[in-house]
Amino acid sequence: MAASNSESADQVGIRVDNAENQDDHTDALGSSGGSAGVTTVSSHNPYGSGAIGQLANGYSSPSMSYKKNVAKMVTDRHAAEYNMRHKNRGMALIFNHEHFEVPTLKSRAGTNVDCENLTRVLKQLDFEVTVYKDCRYKDILRTIEYAASQNHSDSDCILVAILSHGEMGYIYAKDTQYKLENIWSFFTANHCPTLAGKPKLFFIQACQGDRLDGGVTMQRSHTETDGDSSMSYKIPVHADFLIAYSTVPGFYSWRNTTRGSWFMQSLCAELAANGKRLDILTLLTFVCQRVAVDFESCTPDTPEMHQQKQIPCITTMLTRILHFTDKQMVPAGRV
């Protein structure tokens, strides 16, 4: 089937098992030409602009070298798993961006499907979900700063999801671009002590560049072969973060205008099926598998965009196994 006249041919794609649908777009700047007139000025960054680079170069101050930070111990020193037995699972903040004030950015058709699906599965995992639609950057910062200032003592963790356009090292709010470090830096152990030692999860659906992944065809071979946990301890301020990007640095991220993005489709499917059965890193491995194996663009009229692939990129600073265990329901009549 030819691409719809209402779509840009360099942005449509499909899922492998439904090759007649050509409603996929990339979460870049609206074209395959990269920044499309948007200029980014930044100083030299020896560590790169991805999650690791932003951690290495990001939010810090001279006082961090001598200020003594103390937080309540929520998990035994050598416990294998995070303590997920608090009263609440925790906040889940979803920033859903569909329309933009930046002239070069197209509306993200299909993002509301992602948002609805993610909201549903996170509620099934006992998160307190709040959705923020088409926020300007100052409103995002205000929301994040407020969330970080709350008392999370009775919560297992916190989760932030951002659905938007992006480019290398940057994500777009409604009105401007920003670095992810401007968001997660509020939740480091020294700035948000009631989340110290607890998982801080970030899921980012956005392009990280304008490069394409043509993939490699795999062919079957003709022959196959077969201390004391009660003592206090110190943790790094950047410990216990997990940042899951929909694609690797420098590459496109694909989004279907009717089904939602490849990454969010896969993440929601895995969370719904295995969210309380598998630990988060095992689950995200299968998310990567779904995106890598089950999806492929189909733009025969635009050969350079045809039969392209995608693979998510997971950056983890988790220090324990994370399971979303069942919450114990309080019997009726008891407080």
**329 falls in which pLDDT band (50, 70, 90)?**
low
Question: Catalytic one among 115, 157, 192, 207?
Answer: 207
Query: How many other CB atoms are found less than 10 A from the CB of residue 21?
Result: 17
pLDDT tens by residue, 50-91: 555 555 454 444 444 445 788 788 888 899 999 999 999 999
**146 falls in which pLDDT band (50, 70, 90)?**
very high
- Of 259, 263, 160, whose CA–CA distance to 208 is shortest? 263
Find residue 241's DSSP bridge partners. 200
Contacts for 227-234: CB closer than 8 Å, 24+ residues apart = 227/77, 227/78, 228/77, 229/76, 229/77, 229/78, 229/79, 230/76, 231/77, 232/73, 233/73, 233/77
Structure confidence at residue 59 (pLDDT): 47
Structure confidence at residue 73 (pLDDT): 83
Structure confidence at residue 4 (pLDDT): 38
- Of 289, 40, 60, whose CA–CA distance to 166 is shortest? 40
- Could you write out the DSSP letters of every residue in 197-244? TS-EEEEEES---SB-B--------SS-----TTS-----TTTTEEEE
Pairing of strands 91-96, 128-133: parallel
Q: Structure pTM?
A: 0.81
Query: How many other CB atoms are found less than 10 A from the CB of residue 218?
Result: 7
Structure confidence at residue 217 (pLDDT): 72
165 as an active site residue: the answer is yes
222 as an active site residue: the answer is no
**pLDDT above 60: residue 334:** no
pLDDT tens by residue, 252-281: 999 998 999 999 999 999 999 999 999 999
DSSP-assigned letter for residue 49: S
More confident of the two residues 21 and 163: 163
Q: Which residues of 267-288 are buried (b: 16+ CB within 10 A; e: fewer)?
A: bbbbbeeebeebbbeebbebbb
Question: Catalytic one among 25, 97, 152, 165?
Answer: 165
CA 163 to mean position of chain CA atoms: 8
Lowest-pLDDT range of 18-32, 105-119, 273-287: 18-32
**12 falls in which pLDDT band (50, 70, 90)?**
very low
Question: Alpha-carbon torsion 152, 240, 263, 5, what sign?
Answer: positive
pLDDT tens by residue, 20-48: 456 667 777 644 333 333 333 333 444 45
CA distance 63 to 147: 23
CA distance 42 to 5: 38
Region 98-124 average pLDDT: 97
**pLDDT above 80: residue 7:** no
Structure confidence at residue 37 (pLDDT): 38
Residue type at position 53: G
**pLDDT above 90: residue 167:** yes
Establish how many alpha carbons lie within 13 A of residue 309's alpha carbon, considering only the half-sphere containing its beta carbon: 14
**120 falls in which pLDDT band (50, 70, 90)?**
very high
- Of 26, 60, 86, 328, whose CA–CA distance to 188 is shortest? 60
294: three-class secondary structure by DSSP: helix
**pLDDT above 70: residue 103:** yes
Structure confidence at residue 300 (pLDDT): 85
**294 falls in which pLDDT band (50, 70, 90)?**
very high
pLDDT > 90 fraction of the chain, expressed in percent and rounded: 62
